[in-house]
Structure 1
């Protein structure tokens, strides 16, 4: 018979009250030991779980923020990159470099001064082939670059040697850091000089500074280039070896900066595989951060972003401890109630009222704890809603940054497509001048007429590229395919003189018409013929075979060359913007070609191996 059954039957406890009290004290002592051991285990588990949750939240938030900063930085970088290329082909630039007259230089100075305010560049200047600046947008200021020698700069040497160059450095005249983007100016076979555009990142650093979290960009030498911590500029990630540090100081790329290591130290991570860094703050004291890094597209830069561990870590651990202990205490209370009720039954009916009073008190305490937990949960839900609103605002800023990047791509496309007509115009203009010197007025008039036609062509290309940027379509019309192919060859004749004979066009006897616009279709085959001839420039028996095959549904034009073929890594991204194997290429020709064909219901495919490359273009018949 159990103690409870004997108590109900006789009304007396099964053993003396003193023994019962000793048993009760022993049971409660065991319960207390188990409770404290369990509390210690719960605290350790809640602490670990809180750390993992905090790190996960910090990583998610940090990755979102670093991706936004990287996207904004890319849009800022892409905006001015087309400017040196366009200016290198400007007539005012070549005139000033060729003649050196005060009138031409003054006109160029004023033109560069106007461009600075509209392009958001810091400074635009032009140097001669010896590196001396002859014109600058700041020509009227005390810190004018005119007359300064920049031949020691890497961006000047790279532009003269390879056509383009980029370098982040401290200005030797302005003493302000910035990214220098350069492009060589060529007239015929003569290298006249270099166009340089300097962009500064002061506004970007100010925007980053508003977040209150350290962020900085390092270059290939591990030197801090851009940062929202002014005292960190031109410090290094890790200590440079003496030879490399001496070389950087001698180049004056970073002025007289001591190139000391950043005040960072590695810490034991909260969670494995997560890099944690201790930082000595400028105002004194130290703080712990999670360090995130990402590469900056189209550069050799790395963006570093430090996310503070506190107060997120403390709050997450506190919430985990609160919830865990609330649950643990709840279970403990239930266990205590069960044990207590069993003991009260042994103490008899006399203790029943006291037991009910104690139970009600404990229930009120538990209800109070649950109410407090409910209030905290409501506050957390409100915080989540506020976070969603902030995220929407950040997404809108990202859309604006992407829009700026698209505008840069369209500008680069315009420069790419009008380059060929401009080269032809230049050739006709030089021929006309020769005919005038020889008094051959009729021949000169003929060349001038051709120049007028080509300027109209440039206007048409500009309109078509504007429609391409809006994803619009021109109205298709029947176009003789023979005229399209011959027109493309004519526009390439001047540039590829001596090699244009490599193009062999095999047309059927019957006249074939296709749907489209002649100017835009000529753009397609100019790009394909030009790519083929450039691939064959070093081949003795160069040959580009153009064949036409008519079908009931349309016409297929195949352009095949016997060049070295396209590497697999380039072929996979052949129709992706800004991917090219050419040193001076923009990577837009085949992108525009594919868009033009798509507008008129056509397609383009490519096959390439070591025997050559074959592009197949399909067009709708008319």
Structure 2
């Protein structure tokens, strides 16, 4: 009897050892999975932030790169660089100051051929650029030689970092000088800083130039060799800053520093040789994955414990049967009671663990873009070129009319930018009665050059005289511009391109914009208004989604409908005033 008990005990010991070994294997596998899962989740989060931040940065850069191209055509710029009198320079200073304020540019200034600054938007400030000589700056030399240049550097006067966008100014083949727009990214960095990730841009030398972390600014991703460091210092690009490497070590996509480990994602941005990095701390994902792994190990432990208990009870039952029937019945009853209680606790623990391991919902990531600004900027350039021609002919009145139109369009640019920012923050727009006719006229004005260039016939049906709706004028015009732009894109290569704008008035106002192009691709038709879904090779897939959101804020709708003239059509419904 004792030998049988000892044999059963040894077998139970082996079973326990085997269960312990199996539990150890499960633990190693669970924590291995947790580590890999944490890395994958962190990589996904870093990649999403990198794409969103790069899109936002590209929008900022596009806006400011257009400024010097527009200003090059401004007659006063040529007069000032061509040796204009003091009154012309003062007038130019004031206009640059106003333009910098409206566009959020840090400084806009004009540099003569000898490198001396003649006019600047900060002419009133103690640290004015007027009179400073920037002939040594690479952006000035490259712009003079190649027509355009960009350089991210510390300001030699202000000491503030920024991107210097320079364009050469010419008149009848003669180089007059350079116009420079300095862009600072404080607002963009503040947006990035509100994210849990560390986001920054490094230039072609690996120097961190735009960052959500002040302690990483002007650090480097790797040590810089002596010749490169000497060239940077000679150009005073970063003053006398040491440009020390980040206190991190890299292993593939992993970066490790004092007390922190990151997973990195990098994406190219439209700056010479620059890349945007998003560093996702690994600790939060590791904590979550490890908690899941511990939960799995605990479940395995409970199951193995239950299995061992069952084996032990079975053996105990057989042993007790051999000893005495009465004792067997007593022990079986006791063990059965224990098993019932253990099973009850197991079920309760299992439900709690199931509840604890449920996943949360995934939030949507949106990125605001203001690509509609391109249309008024193109119109500004056209009016500016025409104003120059009118001045050449001595027709100052028509030139003045064009300048007035340019002022109105720049105000419209500011309004569009403000409204797009307001939309991104989901603020409530200013609503009121808006006349339909002037809004349609304004939208056609913005895309008029493209309409004429492509020979598109515009058909307008329905009476809009005195017809008003409840909306915000700028946002309503933004919807129509977007629809017209999409229609023009679709009409490329058509021999008889047509766009019909149909207005219907009843209890609600319906505006239908239709074209006779190829129509909407069936593969994207069902998700046409979903962000980042587009049928255009170079499209972002954001325009229609933004337009529909604006229409809904008006209490209306925007839908894709069948075109009455054989292509694509969009139906905008707004409330009647």
Return the TM-score normalized by structure 2: 0.68
| d(CA) in 2 for partners of 1:418, 1:107 | 20
Per-residue deviation, residues 587-620 of structure 1 (Å, max 9, x unmatched): xxxxxxxxxxx99999xxxxxxxxxxxxxxxxxx
Aligned to 1:352: 329
SS at 2:182 equivalent: strand
Per-residue deviation, residues 439-484 of structure 1 (Å, max 9, x unmatched): xxxxxxxx8999899999999998645247999986249xxxxxxx
361, 384, 388: which one pairs with 2:360?
A: 384
Per-residue deviation, residues 269-317 of structure 1 (Å, max 9, x unmatched): xxxxx5211123xxxxx21111221111465311112111113213312
Aligned to 2:303: 330
Aligned to 2:213: 229
| d(CA) in 2 for partners of 1:250, 1:101 | 35
Distance 1:196 1:314, change over 3 A: same
Note if 1:278 corresponds to 2:261: no
Aligned to 2:233: 249
Once the 2 structures are TM-superposed, how far is the Cα of residue 335 of structure 1 from its aligned partner?
4.8
What pairs with 1:482-521 in structure 2 (closer than 5 Å)?
Answer: none
Aligned to 2:374: 409
Distance 1:450 1:66, change over 3 A: closer
32, 37, 41: which one pairs with 1:48?
A: 32
Q: 1:414, 1:462 within 8 Å by CA — same for their partners in 2?
A: no
| d(CA) in 1 for partners of 2:397, 2:195 | 60
Once the 2 structures are TM-superposed, how far is the Cα of residue 48 of structure 1 from its aligned partner?
0.9
| d(CA) in 2 for partners of 1:457, 1:72 | 29
Aligned to 2:294: 321
Superposition CA RMSD, Å: 3.8
Per-residue deviation, residues 379-416 of structure 1 (Å, max 9, x unmatched): 443x613xx3xx23x32xx1xx22x2x13432453356
What pairs with 1:13-28 in structure 2 (closer than 5 Å)?
Answer: 17-28=1-12
Distance 1:476 1:224, change over 3 A: same
Q: 1:223, 1:236 within 8 Å by CA — same for their partners in 2?
A: yes
Once the 2 structures are TM-superposed, how far is the Cα of residue 332 of structure 1 from its aligned partner?
4.5
Aligned to 1:340: 313
What pairs with 1:102-501 in structure 2 (closer than 5 Å)?
Answer: 102-267=86-251, 275-280=253-258, 286-297=259-270, 299-348=272-321, 349=325, 350-381=327-358, 384-385=360-361, 388=362, 391-392=363-364, 394-395=365-366, 398=367, 401-402=368-369, 404=370, 406-414=371-379, 417=382, 422=386, 426=388, 429-430=391-392, 432=393, 464=444, 466-467=446-447, 475-476=458-459
Per-residue deviation, residues 224-255 of structure 1 (Å, max 9, x unmatched): 11112222222211111111111111110011
SS at 1:166 equivalent: strand
Per-residue deviation, residues 115-169 of structure 1 (Å, max 9, x unmatched): 1121011111111111211111111110111000111112112221222211100
Return the TM-score normalized by structure 1: 0.63
Note if 1:33 corresponds to 2:17: yes
Gaps of 5+ in 2: 410-439, 461-494, 500-515, 517-535, 541-562, 568-577
Once the 2 structures are TM-superposed, how far is the Cα of residue 369 of structure 1 from its aligned partner?
4.3
SS at 2:153 equivalent: strand
| d(CA) in 2 for partners of 1:180, 1:451 | 31
| d(CA) in 2 for partners of 1:195, 1:372 | 71
SS at 1:475 equivalent: strand
Once the 2 structures are TM-superposed, how far is the Cα of residue 378 of structure 1 from its aligned partner?
2.7
| d(CA) in 1 for partners of 2:95, 2:402 | 25
| d(CA) in 1 for partners of 2:271, 2:236 | 25
| d(CA) in 2 for partners of 1:303, 1:379 | 37
Distance 1:599 1:111, change over 3 A: farther
Aligned to 2:525: none
Distance 1:105 1:363, change over 3 A: farther
Distance 1:216 1:102, change over 3 A: same
Q: 1:476, 1:515 within 8 Å by CA — same for their partners in 2?
A: no
Gaps of 5+ in 1: 1-16, 268-273, 281-285, 434-446, 478-512, 518-553, 555-573, 579-597, 603-622
